[in-house]
Amino acid sequence: MLPQELEVWYVIPAVRSGLVKIMAKQGLKQREIAKKLGLRESAVSQYIKKKRGQGVNLPEKLKEQINKSALSIINNKKTHMEEIQRICRLSRKMGFLKTIAHKMGCDCKGCRACLK
């Protein structure tokens, strides 16, 4: 599996889930969250109800960054795309994709996900 596939299937949904939950705790309505994150309201609802983005346990460092990102997005300092891309870059730099790949049974012989 390509590193980008790991991000699409595992990292990005977990990041979105975290962003949605933080924004909801900050008092934003589902419609506002959907607009700020470029999602449909139904997707926001699924993140809130834990039907999406629950398959990955993010490291604390990423959770802290998601919290910062949520506040930046709420305050219109950064876009959701900028912040999600930043967190994906950080997850690669930290070797988090390697953790996901190993949980999926990757034997790491020539695996590109395991490279930092």
- Cβ pair 47, 53 in contact under 8 A: yes
Q: For residue 115, give Cα distances in angstroms to 7, 17, 27, 32, 94.
A: 14, 26, 39, 37, 10
CB atoms within 10 A of CB 89: 11
DSSP one-letter string for 77-97: SS-HHHHHHHHHHHHHHHTHH
Per residue in 63-95, pLDDT tens?
A: 999 999 999 999 999 999 999 999 999 999 998
Place of tokens 């596939």: 5
Domain ranges of the chain: 3-101
Question: Residue 27: what pLDDT?
Answer: 97
pLDDT greater than 60 at residue 116: no
Summary mean pLDDT of the chain: 90
Q: Which residues contact 9 (CB under 8 A, 6 or more apart)?
A: none
Rounded to a whole number of angstroms, the CA Rg of the chain reads 14
The mean pLDDT value for 4-22 works out to: 94
pLDDT per residue over 41-63, tens digit each? 999 999 999 898 888 899 999 99
